[in-house]
Amino acid sequence: MGLLRDLFGQPAIVAGLIVCMGLIALKKPITEIIRGSVRATIGFVTLLMGTNIIVAALSNFGKVFSKAFSMQGVIPSNEAAISIVLSKYGSIATLIFVFGMILNILLARITRFKYIFLSTDHALYMSCALTAVMVASGMNLTESIVFGALMLGMILCIMPAVAHPTMKLITGKDDMSFAHFGTFGYWFCAQIGKIFGKNSRSIEEINFPKQLEFLQDSNVSVGIIMTILFYVITIIAGPEYVSTLSGGVNPYVWALLQALQFTAGILILVTGVNILLDEINPAFKGFSSRIVPNAVPGYPFAILFRGTSNALLVGFLMSLLGGLLGMTAQFMMGTVIILPGIVFHFFCGGIGAIFGNATGGRRGAIIGPFLTGIIMTFLPLLFINLFGGVGFTTTTFSDSDFLTFSVILGTIGRIGATPLMITISVLLVLMILVSIKKKSNVQPHAES
């Protein structure tokens, strides 16, 4: 089980396998199959390397930030959350993950939800969240695996469908969607953009004075802004504390290097995305033509990091501001304090701004992530209340979909395992019935 989890939990390997199957379906020569599969895997590894560099810099930013403002409390972290589940219920989570991935392909073939979820690392995270739900409801081993896998398979099909309409606006393409479990938050930002963003220009359309035209280079602007942020928190936290993280490097030199490494991480990530898309887009046509007709790939978050630097930075800062406001409210209310997860606020806040910008320009990019930052500071309180008995007392999941599905299903599970199993079964039936109805509505038109 550990081998399966580790193998198929690596999105780079899954991307390579899908390209391989697609090229085989297209009857390409063996040399092209090997070349495309290897390049797709390398592309994904490259973007993951960029992601790791970004996360490392943000992690250091979070440490200095917490010291600067003397904050203590629960820190949302997907990685910490899954470690709790895997240490206690690793076999259940692994089987839910494997069968859920298989069910994703099956449901994509037989229903109207033709989406293949390519972010398998996030699929593994969701399997861990669902494991906590099933165990807390009182299900036995077999029930947990069966109903957890059914729920995961449905989620893997449905969430890219939720993101798809806005993805069309962002990319201008109909044949690609988004696979990242912050989708409820991104959808919310898109709706906020529709409400408040009428006639608002894109946040990427900023006319710089001639003296500042160098800021139009996204790498330069990101590097300068992150340098300013690192220097501010370094000054507030004090160089003495920062020296404990810098490994003997001058604290201010270290702050500069962290900002530049963060910027380089984005550059590496985008390079990996370009390599991956060059190989996976044509190969996926072969995959969809033979295995899942008309399939739409749900790509990882990095697909949106090209040409969106303004939205990323504004979304990060506004989401972080919302998180700080929510944390202040929790302090005044006397509840458990949820500390701002810097990694969450950058990735989910930044992507939320991209979605908000697509529907509502600058106002959508600003208001949506700010409100999401507030909401996502309070949602973990409900999660802790439901799953403290499973081990979630000092950390929680951070992204909206993990928390939303866990809270909704966990609330039903509190009534008992049977109501939860009935709920999941009804959702599966509804998913199939909606697809049958859709096909029956389309058929007369096709015949005419």
Domain residues of the chain, as ranges? Answer: 2-437
pLDDT of residue 268: 86
Between 415 and 226, whose confidence is greater?
415
Mean pLDDT, rounded, for 48-53: 81
What confidence tens digit (pLDDT) does each residue in 388-442 have?
888 887 788 999 999 999 999 999 999 999 999 999 999 999 999 888 766 555 4
Tell me the pLDDT tens digit for each residue of 75-90. 788 888 888 888 788 8
Q: Provide the terminal-to-terminal Cα distance of the chain, rounded to the nearest Å.
A: 51
Return the half-sphere exposure (C-beta side, CA atoms, 13 A cut-off) of residue 121.
Answer: 15
pLDDT category of residue 377 using cuts at 50, 70 and 90: very high
DSSP 242-305: HHHHHTTS-HHHHHHHHHHHHHHHHHHHHHHHHHHHHHHHHHHHHHHHHTSTT-EEEE-GGGG-
pLDDT tens digits, residue range 267-303?
A: 887 788 678 777 876 776 676 667 788 889 898 877 8
Could you give the CA distance from residue 235 to residue 214 in angstroms, rounded to a whole number? Answer: 27
Task: List the structure tokens of 229.
Answer: 């942020």
Position 155 pLDDT exceeds 60 = yes
Strand partners, 115: 296
Q: Does pLDDT of 9 surpass 80?
A: no
Cα angle: 18, vertex 23, 26; to 5 degrees = 130
DSSP structure class, residue 111? S
Token pair for residue 341? 């997860």
Does the predicted model carry a pTM greater than 0.85? no
pLDDT computed for residue 285 by the predictor:
67
Amino acid at 394: T
- Strands 296-299, 177-178: pairing kind: parallel
